[in-house]
Amino acid sequence: MSSDISSLRKFVSPEIIFGEGARKTVANYARTFGARRVLLVSDPGVAQAGWVRDVELSLEEQDIDYVTFTEISPNPRAEEVMKGAHFYKEHDCNVIVAVGGGSPMDCAKGIGIISANGGDILSYEGVDTIHLPIPPLIFIPTTAGTSADVSQFAIISDQQEKVKISIVSKAVVPDVALIDPETTMTMDPFLTACTGVDALVHAIEAFVSTGAGALTDMHALDAIRLISHNLKPLVADPSNLQLREQVMLGAMKAGLAFSNAILGAVHAMSHSLGGWLDLPHGLCNAMLLEHVIAYNYPNAQDRFKVVAETMGLDTRGLGPTEIKARLMSAVIELKRDVGLSQKLAENGVGLSDIPVLSDKAMKDPCILTNPRKSSKRDVEVVYEEAL
């Protein structure tokens, strides 16, 4: 009896501590990993919000030595990773703690890769290119969106080529994720909307991905339910900790789903767009979402029907065309309700940019698990529709 290995699925995840106050356990974990000196990675905005000081105090209380690196842009750049890796070595660190959104977390992953493997961060683009284990990573996310705290992805900006590269490896799955909804209380409504839509896209793309399976589906569907039901009320009431917790839980589940099922064309195109124009990642996803759903729909009708039902749409008695129309309307309405109804043209994309953007999107690993095989021309048409 021969077994078909194409049906096998692996699932990687960090140790997760979820709930109010989770960030305050950071020193215990640093001690468990034998921290001699911690490199604390963050960015100026998160430091200003007070979350870095919070973590520093926690380390000081247990007499754990640390140095802090915050020279990171909103889309972390290759040269910032290299500078951080130099800083890590210079200060003889042996554990990395990241506090922040996707940018500090991705930068921290890059610093870990270089400190252990050497070379240039851009040479690690692609899947499973990291050969030596990286230092222990303890991540404290302050946004409910990117899920870099639970994923095997690191996204780094190459400013020379104006593109974002994807590094996919279980080596960059953090050892511990301290997921504390309180840390998202300082996000403004726009960032709350951007990161929330990013998480929703993670969940939808993971569910329709060719890499989906039973282990990822349950997380993806739970994430779609939690985010689609709670994001609009949260943007209207940003100080509501209970809603913050629901969206944070949704983002975490979306992260576990996409880290293992991978993503699709929205993210391939969004990485290209974000690298080209340095725009917020969640906004890039938002501008592309319904157009990619329309493109992918013929190849994943049954899955998209489940997505629609999970978002609370009644599909009884409806055919595929009507379900597609309802789902797209629901997505457009949710984006409008949270203030993300911008188009590509408003953000500086012109027709002449599309061939270059499409070329870069076709090279992104996320395109490989898109439910519908895509040519460069297919991608160009979707970008044109999103203008």
Number of domains in the chain: 2
Residues 187-214: what's their mean pLDDT?
97
- pLDDT for 3 equals 55
| In a shared domain, residues 41 and 91 | yes
Domain boundary among 133, 157, 184: 184
Q: Is the pLDDT of residue 91 over 70?
A: yes
Domain boundary residue, one of 128, 157, 184: 184
Taking CA atoms, 164 is separated from 256, 265, 278, in Å, by 22, 14, 9
Residues 173 and 146 in one domain: yes
Does the pLDDT of residue 1 top 60, yes or no? no
Give yes or no: residues 283 and 262 share one domain.
yes
Residue 280 placed within a domain: yes
Q: For the whole model, what pTM was predicted?
A: 0.96
pLDDT in tens, 317-330: 999 999 999 999 99
Domain membership flag for residue 363: yes
Assess whether 239 and 361 both reside in one domain: yes
**Is the per-residue pLDDT at 296 higher than 60?**
yes
User: In the listed set 128, 151, 184, which residue is the last one of a domain according to the structure?
Assistant: 184
Of residues 15 and 9, which shows the higher confidence score?
15
| Residue (of 102, 82, 185, 167) closest to 130 by Cα position | 167
Indicate if 74 and 31 belong to the same structural domain.
yes
Torsion of CA 345, 347, 348, 352, to 10 degrees: -40
Residue 1 lies in a domain: no
Query: Does the pLDDT value for residue 258 go beyond 60?
Result: yes
By residue range, what is the domain housing residue 243?
Answer: 187-386
Which residues pair with residue 177 across a beta bridge? Answer: 16, 139
| CA angle in degrees (0–180, nearest 5) for 149-151-156 | 85
Per-residue pLDDT reduced to its tens digit, 219-237: 999 999 999 999 999 999 9
What percent of the chain stands above pLDDT 90?
95
Pick from 163, 146, 197, 168: nearest CA to 261: 168
CB of 72 closer than 8 Å to CB of 43: yes
Is 208 buried (19+), middle (13-18) or exposed (0-12) by CB count in 10 A?
buried
pLDDT digits 0-9 by tens, 74-87: 889 999 999 999 99
Residues 382 and 309 in one domain: yes
pLDDT over 60 at 108, yes or no: yes
251 and 358 both lie in a single domain: yes
Question: pLDDT value at position 4?
Answer: 65
pLDDT at 96 over 50: yes
Residue 2 lies in a domain: no
> Are residues 219 and 109 located together in one domain of the fold?
no
Looking at the chain, the whole-number percentage of residues with pLDDT higher than 70 is 99
Residues 357 and 255 in one domain: yes
Is there a domain that residue 294 lies in? Answer: yes
- Tell me: do 270 and 295 sit in the same domain: yes
- For residue 25, give the CATH number of its domain: 3.40.50.1970
Asked if residue 246 and residue 165 are part of one domain, the reply reads no
Q: Kindly report the CATH number assigned to the domain that includes residue 193.
A: 1.20.1090.10
The answer on 55 and 148 residing in a single domain is yes
**Residue 201 to residue 284: CA distance in whole angstroms:** 11
